[in-house]
Chain A
């Protein structure tokens, strides 16, 4: 009996002696491979790339991309054709006075606050804001608005004897409250500082995280724009003559101020 116990004890000890070194095999293996690796260089097959923000990371740019894509489709075909998917229906908002809605006092206040926010944000120069307000006041213009199905709100004011002059056309993305375009036609003009205006607008639109806003050298927008390759987005600020209105004396000599943010794929000179 005692001998059997002793035999079992020996067996257990033998098993333990066999198993314990086995458990150490991985440790030994790693130690050996690590030792073999030390001092060697190896190329990585997939190079490391840092995470770069894109336009899709920004709600505002996603909305603008979708809007331009759907509006472009609508420009060449019917809104809806048999066989189309239900998703992706886009209705643009009215642009002409006869199809727009007269703004009530709350919408008028909204416009004033949006203009103020642009001015406080150093995007709309205060003298331009004063001139725009003076024009609207001079013509006693009502404010009109319309909406599209993606949530952009257009606010507009018209002047002239037959409301033929578009004094102001401003579009706001309603969820974020960011202005995406502004057009003003005035009798007076003022100088603008394109570079600083656009930098301020990048900040106001919270798009500075794209990190690569730069003058699009070698493109049509070299004098008027800032471009983000990461976001595939272009911002422009321009002024010039608005001679589109005909009066009894010939073409009117008005001036325009334009801001626009939109998707764009540009080849910029290096």
Chain B
């Protein structure tokens, strides 16, 4: 009987094996890659980064450890709109604002740091770290001076020298980060840490998050590029950009990121990597700059069909794009309206024009700093009116023999324009700050159509005896 059982067992083996084979699980497709790039957030109305809030205008202020320009460092400082006074955003009791322990300390280099003042009075500081290689070199070099006091006192003598060496060493050890400095200037917290070896360029925000790109490359080509979103809750997300080797995030316009795209009939990046430099530099100069609108949530790209070619630069301002183009050998400034899809207002300019956006508190920016007819001037893109440096200087009422206009910095909520001037009577020259009534508001002719309509509405309401809310009175 035992033999029989064995024989039966052997005969059944193939049957059982066949049955097992039929139940083998099927392989599932790999989904990890798609999960990583999936966008799980929403995006609001994008605006350029503000650089100012109701407390003032913020910038990286130059200081030096020896007080004479040697061994520099930079602090996050605020210009008061009423007094023109500049103060670091640190209120820590007893802080001498001359080291990395100061809450306003930014870096020893004037790097790519970006200041984002919030409406609640707090300030975000985005700091971009050096590459890993540079950081390591600095830590090695300055770590040596920290370890060997005898060597340090020769190269970096005194208390100022010691503080400088300490600051360089500590700064080099910092990652790329976004910090929040509280409105009272008493605390500073780290909101987010970003990858070191990729440059992060934050360009716009929607009140909930900052947006920009993370890229790597050299002056000629991009080797890596992706979009980045830094939530104000500290969450960092990355997203794909269209045609990333030829695309840069410039700004945000309403529901879109504004991208510049370089277009050529030949793959220029490959041409460069092949070492075909003669051809590369020839074709790069001929390449077209295009303006793309990108929705990272939907992943859709819209190529703007601007009526001009040879765009030299463009800036996003709310629902408008200001760009310059060459036409018949002349440079012109144009404004493209995203809502109507039309280009309006041409202002003739000349020379190489870099357009700088002048931020405004509580409203969409209306001014850019540009070079109409070759002169540096403040241009109102609502009307096309512009004011030269001399005209702005005249509005300050200050002595033009002593002061020289440096920059227009921002427009305040109550309709003033903050200017930075050089006091030429001081050696070295000193920066001073003053405000003038916003030029667009002082001349009746310069009022925008919208402002005129608003004014008419207010007058009408007033005539009817209806209370008008105060905040609508702002043009």
A interface with B by C-beta (< 8 Å): 18-19, 22-23, 25-26, 29, 45-46, 67-68, 71-73, 75-78, 81, 92-96, 148, 152, 154, 166, 169, 171, 180-181, 183, 185, 220-221, 223-225, 234, 236, 238, 240-244, 256, 258, 260, 262-264, 267
Are A22 and B282 in touch, CB under 8 angstroms? no
- Report how far A2 CA is from B308 CA in the complex, Å: 117
Show 6 A/B contacts (Cβ-Cβ < 8 Å), sorted by A.
Answer: A68-B273, A75-B217, A75-B272, A95-B278, A234-B267, A241-B286
- B12, closest chain A residue (CB): A25
- Report how far A10 CA is from B360 CA in the complex, Å: 111
Q: Decide: A244 near B285, CB < 8 A? Known: A25-B12, A181-B276.
A: yes
Q: Which residues from B are CB-within-8-Å of A263?
A: 270
Q: Does B144 contact A (CB under 8 A)?
A: no
Q: Does B35 contact A (CB under 8 A)?
A: no
Interface string of B203-239 (1 = CB under 8 A from A): 0000000000000111011010000000000000000
Are B279 and A171 in touch, CB under 8 angstroms? no
Q: Which residues from A are CB-within-8-Å of B246?
A: 220
Are B271 and A181 in touch, CB under 8 angstroms? yes
Which of B11, B12, B279 has the most chain A CB atoms closer than 10 A to its own CB?
A: B279
A-B CB proximity, top 10 nearest: A45-B26, A166-B278, A262-B270, A224-B265, A244-B282, A71-B273, A183-B279, A238-B265, A95-B275, A22-B11
- Report how far A204 CA is from B230 CA in the complex, Å: 50
Q: Decide: A96 near B277, CB < 8 A? Known: A241-B286, A256-B282, A264-B270.
A: yes
A26, A76, A169, A264: the one within 8 Å of B276 (CB)? A169
Q: Decide: A256 near B279, CB < 8 A? Known: A46-B26, A77-B133, A263-B270.
A: yes
- Report how far A67 CA is from B276 CA in the complex, Å: 13
- A22, closest chain B residue (CB): B11
Q: Does B274 contact A (CB under 8 A)?
A: yes
Within 8 A of A (CB), among B282-331: 282-283, 285-286
Nearest CB in chain A: distance from B412 CB, A: 42
Nearest CB in chain A: distance from B289 CB, A: 12
Are A260 and B217 in touch, CB under 8 angstroms? no
Q: Which residues from A are CB-within-8-Å of B338?
A: none
Q: Which residues from A are CB-within-8-Å of B14?
A: 26
Are B270 and A68 in touch, CB under 8 angstroms? yes
Q: Does B151 contact A (CB under 8 A)?
A: no
Are A19 and B7 in touch, CB under 8 angstroms? yes
Count of residues in B whose CB is under 8 Å from the partner chain: 41
Nearest CB in chain A: distance from B164 CB, A: 27
Interface of A is mostly: mixed
- B25, closest chain A residue (CB): A45
Q: Which residues from B are CB-within-8-Å of A19?
A: 7
Are A260 and B266 in touch, CB under 8 angstroms? yes
A154, A166, A244, A264: the one within 8 Å of B275 (CB)? A154
Q: Which residues from B are CB-within-8-Å of A240?
A: 265, 286
Are B133 and A76 in touch, CB under 8 angstroms? no
Are B218 and A46 in touch, CB under 8 angstroms? no
Q: Which residues from B are CB-within-8-Å of A223?
A: 265
Q: Decide: A95 near B276, CB < 8 A? Known: A22-B7, A262-B270.
A: yes
Q: Which residues from A are CB-within-8-Å of B466?
A: none
- Report how far A220 CA is from B181 CA in the complex, Å: 45
For the complex with contacts A72-B221, A73-B223, A224-B265, 19 further pairs of A-B residues with Cβ separation under 8 Å are: A22-B7, A68-B273, A71-B273, A75-B218, A77-B133, A78-B133, A148-B275, A180-B274, A183-B276, A183-B279, A224-B266, A234-B270, A236-B266, A243-B286, A256-B279, A258-B283, A260-B271, A260-B274, A262-B270
Q: Which residues from B are CB-within-8-Å of A181?
A: 271, 274, 276
- Report how far A236 CA is from B48 CA in the complex, Å: 38
